């Protein structure tokens, strides 16, 4: 059987680490793993399927033997290195925001729009974490009932900002419990025991870039006709984003049918038994692959409306897992040139 | 000058403690403070305006010398004791949910509906914390533009569940940082580093009692015509609730006028300068009296719509302060019988 060589760019980061773990369990026939990172991390080692690999610098010349390169090294690195990786013969799956809205780059959630992969020109973009989990939950509803409008408020984990943010939540929490004044450096304000209505930079009309990603990426992935009104908020959770989602559909539905639809939807787990305190929670989604949906209830304040609660591990389905699933789909559909 | 004697029922609790602190700074001419609590706390002492008072058991006979009794001892205690306090000659301002929807009991936010006090029959209800801060922010907008619908998601602090919940967040956080498995007793699940889409019990059609309070109390306090679609969520914050609020009005508005309205509204502080990372935050609202509003931006997905972020100290404006303000208003409008 042919094998494929997979590079992970940003191999030592929060998402890169999960990419390697996810690849380990994936059905991809990985030949060689090529862990790449910044110069300072070159020389470190990474274990993968029983072998030890040495981290090399992510730079021109590093992709000569690579079939698929999974990038999670930030938009700046992707802007420079992704075209180089393609030039050197790799197909890139990029987790940053750099290529998402580029019309040449498919933006793909495998459960939602896998067919968009077929026209790729070397770079495929992995969507924003908040968008991925929302669309995995909403796509089946949209297909059957046509979603007209989404009002969404997020409860996002710090791991979305990488390892420094995880360390900052830890140290601020310790300081706060010790009665010391916490120090903020990753975020503009203390995140421990706080809620920050501010993720990524402010861009237009008072919305943040994170919020506009949820608007624009929903349009590109699912349907440009869906209206999205987002509020993105960071809370002191290490891992897994939660979302309070209110939707209005064109066509009338029964709540029981929405539950049935979601129970059978790919990548979705229904956790909706409030009488027994069962609903999705960040701490339970951590380390799991699926998108968890619960608290599904009719919203009687608008026609064809409902509220729901959507939770998923932002480092897995929100990042590493979705990227690996894109790689698997590319491989299964023969959309990568595999070297012999 | 006449003085009035004020009892605080639940004087040793999270809200009771704040009631006494707030009374200390209030313009009420307090003669005697009468701190009451459960039998186990009787005999403890409380300092107030330079004098030390002994906590007595909250029971029949305790209200003989009391003009106003501020209750924060839970719905069960209020059900039994509030009518006894009235019988013994006190006017009750009750912070529990017990009397809120009783047509005989005014439900009052002094900035919003102070005139409802005039028909009281002895018991005045203090609204739910999440409702108070939302309505202080929305009432000025409703008066001018008529709010048609509210979609609100809350980010609520643990202090809303009292001192045991504050201790539980602390101990769970310590356990988690020490690598131990946190133990949950106040909440059905771990609250440290988690988000719980579950506050109070589940009551109807998949909504919680906390959520239905926001619906029903908005109708009673502000306008029964306003449609409210709530999602109430507990997050690991000690103090101050945050709310992501989406509204639609009957009449068109300019966003600048909304900002102007709120900047001049009683009890509101506008914190809306995202370019300088200025927006309301739980940790900054802690210990402050006002309702903080920011991230005000047009929602282009529906006519006459906007999103905003509303934060206030749930123990102060959300509970103790609002109760004391009701007492002040009662006194100023001569709605209590003051003993000579």
pLDDT in tens, chain B (340 residues): 589 999 999 999 999 999 999 999 999 999 999 999 999 999 999 999 999 999 999 999 999 999 999 999 999 999 999 999 999 999 999 999 999 999 999 999 999 999 999 989 999 999 999 999 999 999 999 999 999 999 999 999 999 999 999 999 999 999 999 999 999 999 999 999 999 999 999 998 999 999 999 999 999 999 999 999 999 999 999 999 999 999 999 999 999 999 999 999 999 999 999 999 999 999 999 999 999 999 999 999 999 999 999 999 999 999 999 999 999 999 999 999 744 3
The pLDDT, as a whole number, for residue B78 is 97
Please, which residues 300-319 of chain B have a Cβ atom closer than 8 Å to chain A? 300-302, 305, 307, 309
Q: Is the dihedral of CA B241, B245, B251, B257 positive or negative?
A: positive
**Strand-pair category, B241-249 with A123-125:** unpaired
Let me know: does B187 contact B234? Beta carbons within 8 Å.
yes
Long-range contact set of residues A289-292: C-beta below 8 Å, sequence gap at least 24: A289/A313, A289/A316, A289/A317, A289/A321, A290/A317, A291/A133, A291/A136, A291/A137, A291/A267, A291/A317, A292/A268
Let me know: does A90 contact A7? Beta carbons within 8 Å.
yes
Taking CB atoms and an 8 Å limit, are A227 and B301 in contact across chains? yes
pLDDT in tens, A205-223: 999 999 999 999 999 999 9
- Residues in contact with B194: Cβ distance below 8 Å, sequence separation at least 6, in sequence order: A237, A281, A282, A283, B236
Map out the domains of chain A as residue ranges: 4-126+319-332, 130-314
Confirm or reject contact between B193 and chain A (CB < 8 A).
Answer: yes
For domain A130-314, the question of CATH label 3.30.360.10 is answered with yes
Angstrom distance (rounded) from CA B117 to CA B87 = 19
Strand order across the A147-155 sheet: A227-231, A147-155, A241-249, A305-312, A291-298, A268-270
Taking CB atoms and an 8 Å limit, are B206 and A244 in contact across chains? no
Residue A160, SS3 per DSSP? helix
B254 CB neighbours in chain A (<8 A) are none
Residue A61 vs residues A13, A86, A191: alpha-carbon distances, Å = 21, 11, 40
Here the tokens at position A238 are 């290490």
pLDDT in tens, B27-36: 999 999 999 9
Confirm or reject contact between B112 and chain A (CB < 8 A).
Answer: no
Of the listed B105, B120, B142, B241, which one is catalytic? B241
* The CATH number of the domain covering residues in A4-126+319-332: 3.40.50.720
Please give the sequence-ordered ranges of beta strands (E in DSSP) within chain B, or none if there are none.
4-9, 30-37, 45-48, 51-54, 56-57, 68-71, 91-94, 123-125, 147-155, 202-204, 207-208, 227-231, 241-249, 268-270, 291-298, 305-312
pLDDT in tens, A102-136: 999 999 999 999 999 998 999 999 999 999 999 99
B331 catalytic per annotation: no
Radius of gyration of chain A (CA): 20
What would the DSSP string read from start to end of A250-277? SS---HHHHHHHHHTSTTEEE--BGGGT
Angstrom distance (rounded) from CA B79 to CA B97 = 10
B236 CB neighbours in chain A (<8 A) are 193, 235-237
* Interface probe, candidates B244, B246, B312, chain A, greatest A C-beta count within 10 A: B244
Confirm or reject contact between A278 and chain B (CB < 8 A).
Answer: no
Asked if the interface predicted TM-score (ipTM) of this complex is over 0.85, the answer is yes
The pLDDT, as a whole number, for residue B88 is 96
* Interface probe, candidates A285, A301, A305, A308, chain B, greatest B C-beta count within 10 A: A301
Nearest in space to B70 (alpha carbons), one of B41, B92, B42: B92
A189 CB neighbours in chain B (<8 A) are 277, 281, 283
Give the chain B residue nearest A150 (alpha carbons). B301
What would the DSSP string read from start to end of B24-87? HHSS--EEEEEEEE-GGGTT-EEEETTEEEE-EE-STTTTTT-SEEEE-SHHHHHHHHHHHHHH
A241 catalytic per annotation: yes
Confirm or reject contact between A26 and chain B (CB < 8 A).
Answer: no
Give the single-character DSSP code of A238. S
Confirm or reject contact between A125 and chain B (CB < 8 A).
Answer: no
B305 CB neighbours in chain A (<8 A) are 229
Confirm or reject contact between B202 and chain A (CB < 8 A).
Answer: yes
Nearest in space to B155 (alpha carbons), one of B280, B22, B319: B280
Confirm or reject contact between A334 and chain B (CB < 8 A).
Answer: no
**Strand-pair category, A268-270 with A147-155:** unpaired
Give the chain B residue nearest A158 (alpha carbons). B193
Let me know: does B327 contact B6? Beta carbons within 8 Å.
yes
Average pLDDT, chain A: 96
Taking CB atoms and an 8 Å limit, are A302 and B207 in contact across chains? no
Angstrom distance (rounded) from CA B194 to CA A167 = 17
Give the single-character DSSP code of B320. I
What would the DSSP string read from start to end of B90-119? PEEEE-SSTTTT-TTS-B--TTT-GGGGGG
The pLDDT, as a whole number, for residue B204 is 81
Let me know: does A294 contact B207? Beta carbons within 8 Å.
no
Q: Where are the alpha helices (DSSP H) in A26-162?
A: 74-87, 129-145
Give the single-character DSSP code of B161. G
Low-confidence ranges of chain A (pLDDT < 70): 1, 338-340
The pLDDT, as a whole number, for residue A1 is 52
Give the chain A residue nearest B167 (alpha carbons). A177
Confirm or reject contact between A58 and chain B (CB < 8 A).
Answer: no
CATH topology for the B4-127+319-332 domain: Rossmann fold (3.40.50)
Here the tokens at position B190 are 């771990």
Angstrom distance (rounded) from CA A36 to CA A25 = 20
Residue B94 vs residues B8, B81, B108, B119, B243: alpha-carbon distances, Å = 10, 10, 11, 16, 24
The pLDDT, as a whole number, for residue A340 is 40
> Would you tell me how many other CB atoms lie within 10 Å of the CB of residue B79?
13
Query: Does the predicted TM-score (pTM) go above 0.90?
Result: yes
């Amino acid at each position: 059987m042919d094998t494929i060589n997979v590079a992970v760019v940003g191999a030592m980061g929060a998402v890169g680490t999960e990419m390697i773990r996810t690849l380990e369990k994936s059905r991809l026939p990985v030949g060689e793993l090529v862990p790449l990172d910044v110069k300072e991390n070159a020389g470190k080692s990474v274990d993968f399927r029983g072998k030890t690999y040495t981290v090399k610098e992510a730079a021109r010349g590093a992709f000569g033997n690579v079939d698929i390169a999974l990038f999670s090294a930030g938009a700046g690195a992707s802007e420079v290195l992704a075209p180089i990786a393609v030039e050197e013969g790799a197909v890139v799956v990029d987790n940053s925001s750099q290529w998402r809205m580029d019309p040449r780059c498919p933006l793909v959630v495998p459960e939602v729009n896998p067919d968009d992969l077929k026209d790729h020109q070397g770079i495929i973009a992995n969507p924003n974490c908040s968008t991925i989990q929302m669309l995995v939950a909403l796509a089946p509803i949209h297909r059957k009932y046509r979603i007209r409008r989404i009002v969404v408020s997020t409860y996002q984990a710090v791991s979305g900002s990488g390892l420094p943010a995880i360390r900052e939540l830890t140290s601020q929490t310790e300081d706060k419990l010790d009665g010391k004044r916490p120090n903020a450096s990753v975020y503009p304000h203390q995140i421990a025991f706080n809620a920050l209505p501010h993720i990524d930079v402010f861009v237009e009309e008072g919305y943040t870039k994170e919020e506009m990603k949820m608007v624009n990426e929903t349009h590109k992935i699912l349907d440009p006709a869906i209206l999205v009104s987002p509020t993105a908020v960071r809370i002191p959770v290490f891992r897994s984003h939660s979302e309070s989602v209110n939707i209005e559909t064109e066509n009338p539905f029964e709540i029981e049918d929405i539950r049935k639809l979601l129970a059978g939807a790919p990548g979705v787990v229904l956790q909706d038994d409030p009488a027994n305190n069962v609903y999705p929670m960040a701490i339970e989604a951590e380390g799991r692959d699926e998108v968890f949906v619960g608290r599904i209830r009719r919203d009687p304040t608008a026609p064809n409306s409902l509220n729901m609660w959507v939770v998923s591990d932002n480092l897995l389905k929100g990042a590493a897992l979705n990227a690996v699933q894109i790689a698997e789909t590319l491989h299964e559909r023969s959309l990568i040139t595999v070297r012999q």
